[in-house]
Chains A and B, each alone.
Chain A
């Protein structure tokens, strides 16, 4: 079966600095892949290349077998994205924001879909409140509603629980896992919370300074590094930058 995302020897160089160095990986249908690494490792660069926001310096990227730059408008209706660092317009209410994106993604029966998502993420009572007046945790949940609005086949989540308290983070993880299982959604997930990654991801990929450092299931990576948890793997990669173990 053709992978949903395939990166082959991907390099990205900005102003003399290598953001990605010969990065290759595949993301299979129905899989949740955790893309991990310290700040500045190249995770967001990789996500933005997959979204077609950025062109690689060399190498190849295919999403559903197509180039995200050349076949942008064939691919975009099938994807969605949420990041702790991207917001929705603050002067629109939560519902107006979701209606805006429902129209952009041509969502059928948008009203019921919006109602359902607001309920799932427990922000129904905030529907008429302007986004600028929501707490950061509420805004994050609203961003996630937007990300699920078009039932994407491929969802890219960049630190989706970064500003959530443990209770809400647990709720959001639960929703992501449930929806992913129901719809066999493919998810690329970044997070600095290693316990969360163990819970959510089927497979993980560590990168540092734009290079792949480890890849496999949590069990395989722990065995490779001879450690008890991913936190230790993360710290060793971040501090040494080299493949250990």
Chain B
């Protein structure tokens, strides 16, 4: 157990060290979230101006949705990108032949991701308050189960996309950036699920993110959160985490058979 903790800590430090003496890397943590916030924030202010007063709550909806979407996206990225870092550094083979277990590696990435996401949320919360008088804290304690569910789904996606990197190497990198956007239209991020055509709604219902975004809107609108939404998201997240774990294992076995593990970082 102590050895596992040591290995997780070692990898966690390895990822934190990425940020030492590197201004571009440190700026990268907040650059895209801040850009998204500024663009979406000012668009919603403009919409608020040109539409009726009934649309007054639009800022709260859209900025909340944007921040929540960023949490999901970053959670996925904080697993896949550190893995790519080791491929770029041609260090993956060294790790694969060390006693580091995959679950320890993933745990280290998740810990590193939590640190990164905490920084992002803090920066976005301050900027949202400063520019748009939007307080993310207005969601109260409902915030916690919603964010926890987004993180779980983001990690499930991250584990799955890491499997793709193992299986296909560098050629899968484009997918890593794109996969979260594949689920965005069906996750009811910026609009309720009821807006989707009826035949698309079943797709939306099998995504945990849909329940989180619906929950967020419910809290903003009524000040309450239906626990069924939280539990639906949590149940689906458990299923997705299991599926992601199995797919990673399957891709690892296939990569080992096909000789792709040996070529990681050099393809």
Residues of A within 8 A of B (CB): 12, 14, 19, 44-45, 48, 51-55, 69, 73, 76-77, 79-81, 83, 85-92, 96, 99-101, 103-106, 146
Contacts and interface: CB of A to CB of B under 8 A. Distances in A.
A98 B261 CA distance: 23
Residues of A contacting B: mostly = mixed
B99 A91 contact: no
Contact of B18 (A44, A45, A54, A91): A91
A146 B94 CA distance: 9
Given A54-B256, A86-B94, A100 B89 contact: no
Interface string B87-102: 0011101111111110
Nearest to A57: B257
11 contacts: A55-B257, A77-B99, A81-B93, A81-B97, A86-B94, A89-B91, A91-B18, A91-B20, A100-B10, A101-B94, A146-B94
A80 B96 CA distance: 11
A54 B259 contact: yes
A81 B95 CA distance: 11
A48 B260 CA distance: 11
B17 A103 contact: no
A103 B9 contact: yes
B59 to A, nearest CB: 40
Contact of A96 (B11, B17, B95): B17
Given A73-B99, A91-B17, A146-B94, A54 B6 contact: no
B259 to A, nearest CB: 5
Contact of B90 (A77, A86, A101, A146): A86
A213 to B, nearest CB: 22
Given A53-B261, A104-B10, A88 B256 contact: no
A86 B261 CA distance: 13
B266 interface: yes
Nearest to A131: B89
Q: 8 tightest A-B contacts by CB? A: A103-B10, A87-B90, A48-B262, A104-B98, A89-B89, A53-B261, A76-B99, A86-B93
B99 A53 contact: no
A104 B266 contact: no
* Most chain B CB atoms below 10 A, which of A48, A55, A103: A103
Nearest to B253: A55
Contacts, number: 95
Interface of B: 3, 6-7, 9-11, 13-14, 17-18, 20, 22, 85-86, 89-91, 93-101, 256-259, 261-262, 265-266
A79 B98 CA distance: 8
B99 A54 contact: no
B14 A89 contact: yes
Given A48-B262, A53-B256, A53-B261, A104 B13 contact: no
Contacts of B99: 73, 76-77, 104-106
Given A54-B259, A73-B99, A146-B94, A90 B89 contact: yes
A45 B14 contact: no
A99 B85 CA distance: 18
A54 B261 contact: yes
A87 B259 contact: no
Contacts of B6: 103-104, 106
Contacts of B257: 54-55
Contact of B259 (A45, A80, A89, A106): A45
A55 B259 CA distance: 8
Contacts of B11: 100, 104
Nearest to B92: A86
Nearest to B8: A103
A80 B99 CA distance: 10
Given A54-B262, A76-B98, A88 B10 contact: no
Contacts of B13: 96, 100
B12 to A, nearest CB: 10
Contacts of A51: 97
A53 B93 contact: yes
B9 to A, nearest CB: 7
Contacts of A96: 13, 17
A139 to B, nearest CB: 10
Nearest to A77: B99
Contacts of B85: 89
B89 A104 contact: no
Contacts of A100: 10-11, 13-14
Contact of A86 (B7, B10, B91): B91
B265 to A, nearest CB: 8
